[in-house]
């Protein structure tokens, strides 16, 4: 004989979550808790209904009950999962606003002189890749073209582009 499902004390919260669920995972979690309690389904039947394995369904039920009982912390959003961040997103935005005033008016951002300024404001050493990632997170992107070699000849390059086109067109194969 199968065990009776536990968690009757969390049925009301699961039913509330069923009504307010915004994601599929929230809905499946609520169903994993509510279906066995309301309709006396086994864990195998519940897993089949919600489209998860038996183990995943048990995990959904257990985690929900622990969160409701206050034994486990609720899941954090991806924006909060910045475990090794040197600063919060708000701090980063504030620092970039202060240091990139001239770039916001149409100037060019050069990272190497920007690095010590940001390090001084944070009080922590940073890698260049961290600065580039910070700029990318806050919507800055590379808009200036690469440098042009001083010995390059733009006219010769354009002439070559115009005359080279025929070499790249598909030709019919020579048949014997």
Q: Where are the domains of the chain?
A: 8-69, 89-137
Per-residue pLDDT, 169: 53
pLDDT tens track, the chain, 176 positions:
567 778 889 999 999 999 999 999 999 999 999 999 999 999 999 999 999 999 999 999 999 999 888 887 666 666 555 667 788 888 888 988 888 887 777 667 788 888 999 999 988 899 988 888 888 888 887 656 667 788 888 888 877 776 655 555 555 666 66
DSSP state of 4: P
The angle subtended at Cα 58 by Cα 34 and Cα 61, nearest 5°, is 40
Per-residue pLDDT, 120: 92
Q: Give the integer Cα–Cα distance in Å for 135 and 142.
A: 10
* Residue listed under structure tokens 């309301």: 38
Q: Give the integer Cα–Cα distance in Å for 152 and 159.
A: 13
Task: Identify the CATH class of 8-69.
Answer: mainly alpha
Question: pTM for the full model?
Answer: 0.45
* Residue listed under structure tokens 């995972």: 25
Q: How many CA atoms lie within 13 A of 116 on its CB side?
A: 2
Per-residue pLDDT, 170: 54
Per-residue pLDDT, 74: 62
Neighbours of 90 (CB within 10 A): 8
Q: Give the integer Cα–Cα distance in Å for 90 and 88.
A: 5
Per-residue pLDDT, 88: 84
């Amino acid at each position: 004989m199968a065990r009776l499902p536990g968690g009757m004390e969390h049925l009301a919260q699961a039913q509330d979550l069923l009504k307010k669920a915004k994601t599929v995972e929230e809905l499946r979690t609520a169903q994993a808790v509510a279906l066995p309690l309301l309709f006396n389904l086994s864990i195998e039947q519940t897993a089949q209904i919600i489209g998860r394995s038996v183990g995943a369904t048990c995990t959904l039920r257990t985690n929900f009950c622990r969160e409701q009982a206050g034994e486990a912390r609720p899941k954090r959003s991806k924006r909060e999962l910045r475990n090794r961040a040197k600063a919060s997103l708000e701090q980063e935005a504030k620092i970039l606003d202060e240091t990139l005033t001239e770039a916001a008016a149409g100037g060019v951002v050069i990272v190497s002189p920007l690095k010590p300024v940001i390090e001084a404001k944070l009080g922590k050493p940073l890698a260049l890749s961290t600065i580039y990632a910070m700029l990318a997170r806050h919507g800055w992107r590379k808009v200036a073209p690469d440098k042009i070699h001083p010995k390059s000849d733009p006219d010769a390059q354009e002439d070559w582009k115009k005359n080279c086109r025929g070499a790249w067109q598909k030709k019919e194969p020579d048949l014997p």
